[in-house]
Chains A and B, each alone.
Chain A
């Protein structure tokens, strides 16, 4: 029986974040693909509260919520640090992850999926929010500095997933003209050898977006 198991979904950015964290630390794990329309009894057993992926199982003990799982991974296994060591820098990293998940992701998704005025409003809001990330990246290769860290892993949604949604909908939100730093980060990120291996394939993503959007 594998010591570490991950219940995930190939197109979930949250699931992929956890995989990236495990791989950064060189942790061997058994991956279990969940069919979200037909959840396994194990998933429901290990995450009864939310019944969602990802769920990490370590020595039989389950952990849910990607941000919680990633901090656990960082604290449990040796290897490159995912969060900074300094308490202030840690607070900043956690802040940006919350900002990305609770503000950016919500506005950007709405901009893609809501029709008419609501969509326009969301697009405007997303434009303002992205400016903060643009500013944060000034003079840095990654959010984490020279190396990929917590914020880079968590910004996978904007860095990769959003690109497909934007293209499919003909939305011009994340452009090189408006966000040169951010678009440079996206390039660095998706072309980074380590990251590349852990992103779902482009044609599969386009397929799934067509069904989801």
Chain B
């Protein structure tokens, strides 16, 4: 475990952001102590606007006075800066390329599309459900025979998909959608179990009940409009 003074590493985030969550997990895996600042995304702080003028979003990681944005970029920075065993990304260049390729796919074709499925209605919603299921078929192929994407230990790609492991089941329950079919996607079902029960992840996830309450209220608000 690397010991650092708390002020050296700071994270600007928001509790509901899947992108922030990835960074928190990565810092936890690496044993990095940091100062966390919950941002008001409606009334953005001057610090946030100063440190992320281009996108004005969280997460923002500040290390030794230098700030970085974009969760996947931050994850690679964390892996390159705090070298622990095992690393978040594989060492072999070809395996790293595969990991980066799949991270992009998982993010763009699955996570964001599943979110679209949950937050949209009508044709947009139906399309998103269809596309998310098609993407999941491909992810299922990647997970076959593995405990986590990288093998025995959790890594970068697991963190990219991680948010879906506890939020997507809630979305499916609230409906009207069903993306995670354990019969169709048994490897994904197993991965969800493995991820949620991992010692690093377990303590931080809200209970199924809490998630259902939160997302039901959210869905009601947006569907009213």
B221 located at the interface, meaning its Cβ lies under 8 Å from any Cβ of chain A in the complex:
no
Main SS class of interface, B: helix
Q: Give bound CA distance, A103 to B138, whole Å.
A: 27
Q: Does B100 contact A (CB under 8 A)?
A: yes
Asked whether A91 and B77 contact (CB < 8 A) given A49-B105, A65-B104, the answer is yes
Cross-chain contact B104 with A68 (CB below 8 angstroms): yes
Find out whether the CB atom of B80 lies under 8 angstroms from the CB atom of A87: yes
- Interface residue total, chain A, C-beta cutoff 8 A: 24
- CA–CA, A58 to B97, complex, Å? 12
A interface footprint on B90-104 (CB within 8 Å = 1, 0 otherwise): 000110111011001
What bracket does the count of chain B residues touching chain A fall in? 20 to 34
Stretch of A25-33, A70-78, A201-209 that contacts chain B? A70-78
Number of A-B contacts (CB under 8 A): 57
Q: Does A94 contact B (CB under 8 A)?
A: yes
In the complex the two chains form, is A87's CB within 8 Å of B105's CB?
A: no
Residues in chain A near residue B80, CB distance under 8 A: 87, 90
Chain A, residue nearest B97 (CB): A72
Given the interface contacts A49-B138, A88-B68, A132-B54, does A68 sit within 8 Å of B97 by beta carbon?
yes
Give the CA-CA distance A64 to B73 in the complex, in Å: 19
Q: How far is the CA of A98 from the CA of B76 in the complex (A)?
A: 14
Among A83-106, those with CB < 8 Å from B are 87-88, 90-92, 94-95, 98-99, 103
Interface assignment of A61: CB less than 8 Å from any CB of chain B? yes
Residue contact B73 to A65, C-beta cutoff 8 Å = no
User: Cβ of B74 < 8 Å from any Cβ of A?
Assistant: yes
CB distance from B123 to the nearest CB of A (A): 21
- Whether the Cβ atoms of A71 and B69 lie closer than 8 Å is no
| Pick from A65, A72, A98, A99: contact of B94, CB under 8 Å | A72
The reply to whether the CB of A186 lies closer than 8 angstroms to some CB of chain B is no
Q: Does B3 contact A (CB under 8 A)?
A: no
Q: Which residues of A (45-83) have their CB < 8 Å from a CB of B?
A: 49, 58, 61, 63-65, 67-69, 71-72, 75-76
Output the nearest chain B residue to A50 by Cβ-Cβ distance.
Answer: B105
How far apart are A8's CB and chain B's nearest CB, in angstroms?
17
Contact B97 A87 (CB under 8 A): no
Q: Once the chains bind, are B94 and A88 in contact (CB under 8 Å)?
A: no
CB contact under 8 A between A95 and B73, given known A64-B101, A68-B97, A71-B97:
yes
Set of chain A residues within 8 Å of B53, measured between Cβ atoms: 132
B50 within 8 A of A: no
Contact B73 A91 (CB under 8 A): yes
Q: B66: CB under 8 A from chain A?
A: yes
- B96 A98 Cβ-Cβ under 8 A: no
Chain A contacts for B101, CB-based, 8 A: 63-65, 68
Q: List 20 A-B contacts (CB under 8 A).
A: A49-B105, A63-B97, A63-B98, A64-B101, A65-B100, A68-B100, A68-B104, A71-B96, A72-B94, A72-B96, A88-B63, A88-B68, A90-B76, A90-B77, A90-B80, A91-B76, A94-B73, A95-B68, A95-B69, A103-B54
